[in-house]
Amino acid sequence: MMQSVSGRDHFASSRPADPQLGLMKAWRVGDCDGGGDEWAEEVELTKQAVEAVNQLRPRPRFMVLCGDLVHAMPDTPFREGQERDLKAALKGTDPSIPLVFVSGNHDLGNTPTPSTVEQYCSAWGDDYFSFWVGGVLCLVLNSQLFYDASACPKLKEAQETWLEEQLSRASSSSSSTEPKPKHILVFQHIPLYLKSPDEEDDYFNLQRAVRQNLLDRFRKAGVKAVFSGHYHRNAGTRHGGLDMVVSSAIGCQLGNDTHGVRVVVVTADDVIHRYHSLEQLRARGMDEDLRKLLQA
């Protein structure tokens, strides 16, 4: 799916991750394999995030939720209630700020199947797609198909074919009907890596062979940044001109970060991003230097 959105060169977007309704209690009681039978805390935090994003000036052009929308895995107890309550919390988002959903491992299952992918798509929309904003091409990917597609190889193949077409067209396009993007941004749940492209395989990153393949393709196409969640801590770094950005969660924190949202400012020449606590965003908005970039 391709959505075209025209606009000025400079714009802001908000990039929260992992509301994951149900994890906070599950983490406290040490039963993260369960669905989590309480999620009022995450609902309140999501409402605070929506309030903070609504107050940003200038208003963000879109808001991406980068995966693990809920904690309960597909076909488990509490799943329906968590999805219902998250949708209700997000209804407060200003209608002028489109919501973009990215699928996470809890949304699809650690080993997704055609059925779980279909369930996700019915509830939240396509699991991979592209859209344009202000001359910037944004690619939303299903990272679970990179991580473990053993139960749905045809879906993995379809995304691979689509992604290769997107990257090839973006790197070679120069016509008036399809101009070359000012920047290419990727959104996926699982990070390529946390600290280094050479780090060992881990639950929180993609396997080294998969990671290197994607890095090579992204760099060749000119991808500027990859935005992810999953880690429930802030991480990432820039290597070879590509920025790997890992944002902590709206919901459960597994490190020392605060509940927050990453604000991304896109100019004609650069993509600047900074993690803001919900408290700061609600009280003072984005940092002043970011705001000035948007007024330039």
Instruction: Tell me which residue has tokens 């062979």.
Output: 209
Residue 212's pLDDT is 98
Residue 203: burial class (beta carbons within 10 Å; 0-12, 13-18, 19+): exposed
Question: Is the model's pLDDT at 12 over the cut of 90?
Answer: no
CATH code of domain 4-294: 3.60.21.10
- What's the pLDDT tens digit per position in 246-296? 999 999 999 999 999 999 999 999 999 999 999 999 999 999 999 999 886
Return the higher-pLDDT residue of 34 and 4: 34
- What's the pLDDT tens digit per position in 150-169? 999 999 999 999 999 999 99
Residue 34's pLDDT is 80
Return the higher-pLDDT residue of 268 and 200: 200
Longest distance between any two alpha carbons in the chain, whole Å: 57
pLDDT band with cut points at 50, 70 and 90 for residue 9: low
Question: Is the model's pLDDT at 35 over the cut of 80?
Answer: no
Mean pLDDT for the chain overall: 93
Residue 1's pLDDT is 35
Contact residues for 31 (Cβ-Cβ < 8 A; gap 6+): none
pLDDT band with cut points at 50, 70 and 90 for residue 4: very low
Q: How far apart are CA 187 and CA 66, in angstroms?
A: 7
The DSSP-derived string for 238-295 is EETTEEEEE---SS--SSSPPSEEEEEEE-SS-EEEEEEEHHHHHHH-S-HHHHHHHH
Residue 176's pLDDT is 52
**Residue 273, strand partner residues:** 264
Show the tokens assigned to 136: 């910037």
pTM of the model: 0.95
Phi/psi of residue 196, each to 5°? -150, 140
Domain boundaries, the chain: 4-294
